[in-house]
Structure formats: structure tokens, C-alpha cells
Structure 1
Amino acid sequence: MTARLDLAGCPPRGRLGRIRHDPMALARAPSHRFGSVPPPPALDRHAMAFEPGLYGNDVLPDCTAVSLVNAARGIAALNGYDLVVAPASVPAFYGACIGNPPDLVATDGAVMLDVLAHQATQGFAIGPQTLYGLYATLDSQSRSALAHGMARLGVGYWGVTLRERDLERTPLWDVQPGRDDGGIVGGHAVIAWDYTGLADAATVRLGTWGAWQPATWAWVAARLDEAYGIVWRQLERADGTFYDGLTADGLVAEIIDC
């Protein structure tokens, strides 16, 4: 008898929308390198009520904008408050990043670096406020850097390449030696929120399509193309600090120094 997978809570699959980056542009972007201190062995945020939003990514290829606003919402949640986002502002921002075409449904998506540059210079108007974030690349081949990106910078803003098997509703994204996961279906932007450990079989919780999707670090190593950390000064608490006593100035100084 074949066991049935429990698919409760598995996110329904929506649109993709990450256009592959230019390697030369990625090499020119600001980069963040963490010191020799190892990241926490695990990062558990299950007690937090934060959930990623969908913002039209079921029908629009706006995952780059959706994951960006979910990253901002996640950092606000870590700082102890809810970030108010007008739902229509996210597709509108996506449209602005790609030149405001008349039919967003028919578009192909956006380059993450273009989206990051647009919000850094033109801002991301989410409704009651406009966000301007300083961003830097993280070493997508370094598990330590990726874990630090979640633990220290709050949220990872990641670009992955999905294969056919990843579009199936499954409780875990994983890779197995010798298994055919099908052809490449396209690029996708997600947020990385927390992790159970740092071994290949340990899982990272990714925010995509309005829900959480666990993935093993082995899957991340096979699918991840680009990763970023972002600091938004506007998201600090009233006392000028971030979570764990960090400050926006301190985090920004780290990125600038790199």
C-alpha cells in the first residue's frame, strides 16, 4: 500500500517571474561578507505569527516584488509590529520596475537586481509609506553566509531556478541522487525565513505563493542562483533598534564596509 502524503498547508503553485540575472551585473553589485563567527546552528521562528502574502503571484509573474515586500514585512514582524501594505501596491511596483506595460499578466517577470535598484532609488510605495532599502549580495554558495543572512539581516531574498518536480504540491522540496526532477521551468523569487540546522537534510523555510514551503539545504544548493540581504531604515523600532538589539546604522555600516 502506498502512503499518502499530507499536503495540508502545501502552497498551491502560482506564477514564476524571476528573469535570470546578468553575471557581470551581479559581480558589480555591493556584496556582504560575514566574519568568521559561525551562524546559529538553528533558527526557529515558528512561534511568530508572520505569514508571507500572495499579492497577485497566482496570476501575475510578480514574485520579485512579492518576495521583496514579504521580506520587508518579515523584518517589521521581527521588530514587533505589522507593516501595512496596500495589496494593489505590489503589482503596481512590479509594473514600474519593468516599464509599466499595459498588461502585466502577459509579461515575463523581472530581474531581481533591477527590482532592488528601483526600490533603492525610486522607492517602493507600499501605501502609507515608501521604502528605500540598501541591499548587498550574499555568497549563494556559502551556507554560512545564507544562514547569517536570515539570522543577522532578518530575511534572505533569494532567486532560485525551479524544475518540473518543484511545481508539484509536496510538503518538502528536496533532491535525491539519481532522481530525475524534470526540466527547468523558470526562475522564481522567494524569501528565506528560518532553518532547522545546517546539514544537507536540515530544512529551510521559504516563503512563496502566499505560504511556507520547507526545502532541504541540499535542494537550496541545487536550485539557488542569487541571494541578497536588505536593510530598510524605515523599519526600525521607535527606539532606533532592530531585533536582537541591532541597529540599522550598524547593519548598513557592515554592508558599506564590504
Structure 2
Amino acid sequence: MGNDFSDRLSRIAHQPHSPFVPPETKLPEFTIRAVVSGIVLGLLFGASSLYLVLKVGLTVSASIPIAVISLGLFRVLTNAGVKPASILEHNIVQTTGSAGESLAFGIGVTMPAILILGFDLDVCRVTLVAALGGLLGIAMMIPLRRALIVQQHGVLKYPEGTACAEVLKAGTSLQNKPNTSMVAGAQLVFCGFAVGFVYKFLMSGLRLWKEIPEKVFGKGFAGGSISAEVSPELLGVGYIIGPRIASIMFAGGALSYLVLIPLIRFFGGYASTP
């Protein structure tokens, strides 16, 4: 059984792969507009990812949203008379943007450890950690690319990367002609940005309603409480991670606030010393 599985993997790994963009095809790739667009989107998604990871302890990948935004953005520029972007330029945009988001996530999960170790979060230290982390990731990816991507093509699935590639292939072509069907997806993303901004501004800026409505129980259930943070960013994260993971997180919160904290409050009330 094990030998059959190994033989099948070996056959898959040695199957000839025909790339979507042939090596002899000459297309614009590493252009100024692609790099600048990727940097801007990386800053936006990096800031949102850092906010989410510090707030709820998790974040979501930005590769596919940035790919969709890139297709929609350059579609608008094309209608304005700008030369259409190639699929390789779109790939540069999504790679640069998602790299910024990944770096922000790395900062968010390592900075608390630095605080625990007793260091201050000054700008120089945070910048140094981010720069060294990014350079280390690039240095490790250079030798691993051939081993994990080129040689293992067809064996390792990389579902997110495959999905992102399908988005780019569906949204453009080798002739630099954008697919109009992807414009609706980009418009939906920008509409989501607008709705989230308006909701957040009305809630946090104008304070028209409470950001976190809460009910704290009194005697008989001391320490127990129920609260809900209804915010656009958490709603988006919940939609992406799906009901299963969201239910697990909800169950953990319910266990903490309705069981563990009341138990600690109950038994701790009889303790004579801390």
C-alpha cells in the first residue's frame, strides 16, 4: 500500500508541466505601476491585518482580495486610456501586497513576546524585527522554491496559491485583455470597504450606538457576562473562516465568560490570600 502511494506521487511529480505563461512569451512584469500598486495595497491590508491580529488573535490572507482589487483597479485605468496590465503584473501586485500583509501578521504575533521579555516597542526595534523577519523569509524561500514548488508541482496542492492563480487567469489573458466578469468582484470588495468605513465611523466616530453591548450578571451568577462586538472587520473574518471555526471560537468565549470566570469568582471569594 505504501509503495503504491509512493509510486503514484512519483508519477505525479514527474509529469510534464505546461506553464500558463510560456517561457518564450514576452509580457510586462516587474513594472513601476505594479510595484507601487502592490506597495499601496500591502500597506492597507498590512494595517488591517495588524489590527485584527492584535484585536482577535487571527487574521486572513490577503492574496485573493488583492488579486481581485488589482484586476478591478487596472480595469478602471484601462477604461481611462492606460495600457492594460498583463497577468504577470497582476501577479506582482498580489505578491507584493500579500507579502506586506504577511509581514504585518508576523509583527503582530512577535511583538507581544518582546513585551513579555521586558523590551520596549520603540520604532527602531519594531522596524528592525520586521526588516530582519522579511529578509529571513526571502532568504529561506529562494532555496525552498525549487524543492517545494518546482519539484513538487502536482504533489503539494497549495490550495490558496492555486485559487489565487485561478483568479488571475480568469481575470485576464495572455493578450493583456481583462475579463469583464472580474470587475463585479472588485466592485463588491470596494463596496465592502465603503460599507465597513461608514458603519465604523457612525459607531466609533459619532458614537451613535455602543460598540460592545454587554450584560453583566449580578448575585447568583457573579462574574458571568454576555457581550457582543458587532463590527465589520469581525463579520468579514467570520465569513471567511467559516461557521465551523467561528463556532469553535464562540464556544471558547462562552466557556470562558459563562463557566470559567464565574467559577474563579465563586471559589476565589473564599480564598483568604491571593
Give the shorter-chain TM-score range.
under 0.3
**RCO comparison, higher one (Cα < 8 Å, 6+):** 1
Larger Rg, first or second structure (1 or 2): 2
Q: Scaled by the length of structure 1, what TM-score is found? A: 0.25
Q: When you count helix as a share of all residues, which structure comes out higher?
A: 2
Q: Scaled by the length of structure 2, what TM-score is found? A: 0.24
Q: When you count strand as a share of all residues, which structure comes out higher?
A: 1
